[in-house]
Amino acid sequence: MSPFNRRDLLRSAGVIAFAGAAATTAGTLPAHAAAATTTAGFRHGVASGDPLPSSVLLWTRITPTPDAAPGSGLGPDVTVSWEVAEDSGFLRMAARGSVRTGPARDHTVKVIPGGLKPGTAYWYRFSASGVTSATGRTRTAPAAGAAVDRLRMGVVSCANWQAGYFSAYRYLADRGDLDVVLHLGDYLYEYAPGEYQARDVVVRPHDPAVEMTTLSHYRRRHAQYKTDLDLQALHAAVPFVVTWDDHEFANDAWSGGAENHTEGAEGAWATRRDASKQAYAEWMPVRFEPGGHIYRRFEFGTLASISMLDLRTYRSRQASSVVDPAIGSPDRTLTGDAQMDWLLGGFSSPATQWKLIGNPVMISPVRFPSTLSGQEVGAVEQLLGTTTIDGVPYNVDQWDGYTADRSRVISHLRDNAITDAVFLTGDIHSGWACDVPADPLTYPSNGASVAAELVCTSVTSDNLDDILGTPPRTSSVAVEEAFKGANPHVKYLDFDSHGFSVLEVTPGALRMDWYVLSERTNRAATSTLSTSWQVAAGTQAVSRVL
């Protein structure tokens, strides 16, 4: 999500070498993580995702023998049985079956039991060779056309293993009131130890200890993340709806490459991209297999639809300050034509009231204030993925770098009088609540906002205070006020906090609560409700609740 070569920057700063105090702080992998690579059984938890009214996808990974470590390509094929029940004691069985898995798919298991009841909670588990997995709880979506009074979901993004602990996931798992978790991308990071962490400290070193570029690397990294007990708890408690951003592949990925991919030294981009997609399909609870597309839509009765976007596979290369970017050229795309047509068609559907868009990168325009210092400009550019072209900063990795595509979306919403469209966004390690103006140059004098955008902060990845090396809620506060002054459609902005969001949708309003963690490098961090903003039905505008 940044315009510079992050690896070169870190090397020049002298923090690439993972040694000394950083190594002492990071220590070794936790015992449960080490066991996941050496012990037979269901060591990576269970998960569910992509709920439909009559089915939901179930996931696990079996380690049939100690040598069948993730990414090893070793171990026997094995039969895994699965059960789905209407009660936690598995007395009222709803479905059962078995499936074969093996090293060809890294011993992962994905099953989709059908014939389930809409809007119903289910419990599920797996077994093989006398070993039974943990029990997971999931829920199907409401029936098509059903009146739904409330939908509540967790919203998360940007969880960097090396930068801290996933306490945010634990707090979401402990709530017990969520229908679904929306993960907006950067579920994991590709970097080697020392390349990207918590300021200058590797809290937990990545495995493998290299930047992931091969299928084995991607499999091992997915496996490592799924040894985290807080992530396991959340997956076992709530179905996920996910999409990817760039770090599931490589930083600032686009259709033909990435900022930190070097052809030759790291192989062909297509090979690396395909390896990352294969591992993602194997290790994530998602109805996606290589060769298909991950953009897809879910409906929750008549209340809401969620359209999950893929903004990496089809996009043109990001603009740069060296080559004329032609940012507004219709020949450049962020979505690709087929996905754009699908997105616009979803806006026009009368089946649901709220049109929610799982949007990996920010769509609201952002203009840089002229009052920032050089240090502040550099830090914000690093955070937002911005570069300066002819003296003007552009968020070239966001929709700001693909204005023809954004204009198509805004024109469609405006010209068709679409109401209750809300973009739910991650990527930029900060919290935002924005109106999406039809014309930012005349907003707010004409009052025209065609949609709203709510941006969740990072689970652990660096924020502005981390980049500046200052205490939270000190130097960043003035920067936030300057950005809001230069962008009147930005109503709320927090450049510093780590945490998670909870979104509640009712027919009358959509509300997002931002929760912040006291610290990310302590698994026992506390969580506090920071602020709440809503979008009242029919307004296309955000307003503060708390």
Contact 383, 314 (CB under 8 A): no
What gap in Å lies between CA 310 and CA 323, rounded to an integer? 26
Q: Domain check: are 237 and 346 in the same one?
A: yes
Q: Domain check: are 133 and 211 in the same one?
A: no
**Res. 17: pLDDT tops 90:** no
What is the phi/psi pair of residue 217, to 5°? Answer: -60, -50
Residue 197 or 105, more confident: 105
pTM value is 0.92
Contact 396, 325 (CB under 8 A): yes
Least confident of 318-327, 360-369, 445-454, 457-466: 318-327
Q: Which of 87, 116, 139 is the last residue of a domain?
A: 139
Strand, coil or helix: what is 430? coil
For the sheet with 421-425, list strands across it.
Answer: 296-300, 304-308, 354-359, 421-425, 449-455, 431-437, 490-494
What gap in Å lies between CA 253 and CA 125, rounded to an integer? 36
Write out the two tokens for 375.
Answer: 């240090």
Least confident of 12-26, 253-267, 311-325, 532-546: 12-26
**Res. 8: pLDDT tops 70:** no
CATH code for the domain of 102: 2.60.40.380
Q: Domain check: are 122 and 233 in the same one?
A: no
**Res. 445: pLDDT tops 90:** no
Residue 3 lies in a domain: no
The arithmetic mean of pLDDT across residues 86-90, rounded, is 98
Q: Domain check: are 430 and 528 in the same one?
A: yes
Q: Domain check: are 123 and 220 in the same one?
A: no
Q: Which of 97, 115, 139 is the last residue of a domain?
A: 139
Q: Domain check: are 232 and 271 in the same one?
A: yes
**Res. 99: pLDDT tops 80:** yes
Write out the two tokens for 103.
Answer: 């090293």
Q: Domain check: are 133 and 226 in the same one?
A: no
CATH code for the domain of 319: 3.60.21.70
**408-430 b/e (C-beta count within 10 Å ≥ 16 → b):** bbbebbbeeebbbbbbbbbbbbb
Residue 24 lies in a domain: no
Residue 134 has what DSSP assignment?
A: P
Write out the two tokens for 377.
Answer: 């400009």
The pLDDT of residue 10: 35
Give 321's pLDDT tier (boundaries 50, 70, 90): low
Helix axes 269-283, 215-225, angle to 10 degrees: 30
| Residue tagged 């066991």 (tokens) | 35
**pLDDT tens digit sequence for 337-393:** 999 999 999 999 999 999 999 999 999 999 888 888 989 988 988 888 776 655 556
Residue 397 lies in a domain: yes
**Single-letter residue type at 378:** G
Residue 36 lies in a domain: no
Mean pLDDT for the chain overall: 91
Residue 4 lies in a domain: no
Q: Domain check: are 97 and 212 in the same one?
A: no
Radius of gyration of the chain (CA): 22
Contact 174, 526 (CB under 8 A): no
Q: Domain check: are 232 and 115 in the same one?
A: no
Q: Domain check: are 98 and 175 in the same one?
A: no
Q: Structurally, how many domains does the chain consist of?
A: 2
Q: Domain check: are 116 and 189 in the same one?
A: no
- Residue 47 belongs to domain spanning: 41-139
Q: Domain check: are 78 and 184 in the same one?
A: no
